[in-house]
Amino acid sequence: MKIGVLGIQGDIQEHLAVIRKLGHEAVWIRESDALKTVEALIMPGGESTTMTKLLKRFAIWEPLRKSINSGMPVFATCAGMILLSSGIENYPAQDTLGVLDVTIERNGYGRQVDSFEADLYVNYFGDVPFRAVFIRAPKIATTGKEVEVMASFGGTPVLVRERNIIAASFHPELTDDVRLQRYFLDMVGNSIEDATSRM
């Protein structure tokens, strides 16, 4: 499969490396036309305000929203989740794509110096915990009724899925555990099979 990584700002190389490690073609997405060449998209962490400005400057913002609303599978981490959310509950105000029915508290787990790791128990992964790295992590404040909570930390969702979107507050690309990426790729494969069967 051909998987895109939104290459505007953030942990781009790390995500590209994981996709290649798992045997798929990884494409660095820097322009809107490139969205049409991939079967799914990863939106990495970074600085959400900067990413928003650059996505609009390079005319990717609206094509990205359209692609996701049309069913493109997306896996968003940290700042990527902020961009997808339906809104931000604390400062500063910024635009979001509004395609994932969650509201976000930016830096909800603290700033850079408050970064930490934690073991999570993820739905579908059995009893073996997933080691999650939280760096200036956004906190999910509310979830819509169609949002599935796949993992929580301290009673708060940190990994969610809604239809074609998976979003995490943490950085799975910074560990050697690739179960979450495999889960996403299986989701992409199922999406392709469903589309083929309808043709």
Does 78 participate in catalysis according to the annotation?
Answer: yes
Tokens of 198: 């309808």
Does 173 participate in catalysis according to the annotation?
Answer: yes
What is the pairing mode between strands 100-105 and 85-88? Answer: parallel
The active-site residue out of 24, 39, 78, 162 is: 78
| Helix ranges (DSSP H) in the chain | 12-21, 48-57, 61-69, 79-84, 179-197
Give the amino acid at 195: A
What is the spatial distance between Cα 141 and Cα 66, in angstroms, rounded to a whole number?
25
Residue owning tokens 């505007």 = 8
The residues carrying an active-site annotation are 78, 171, 173
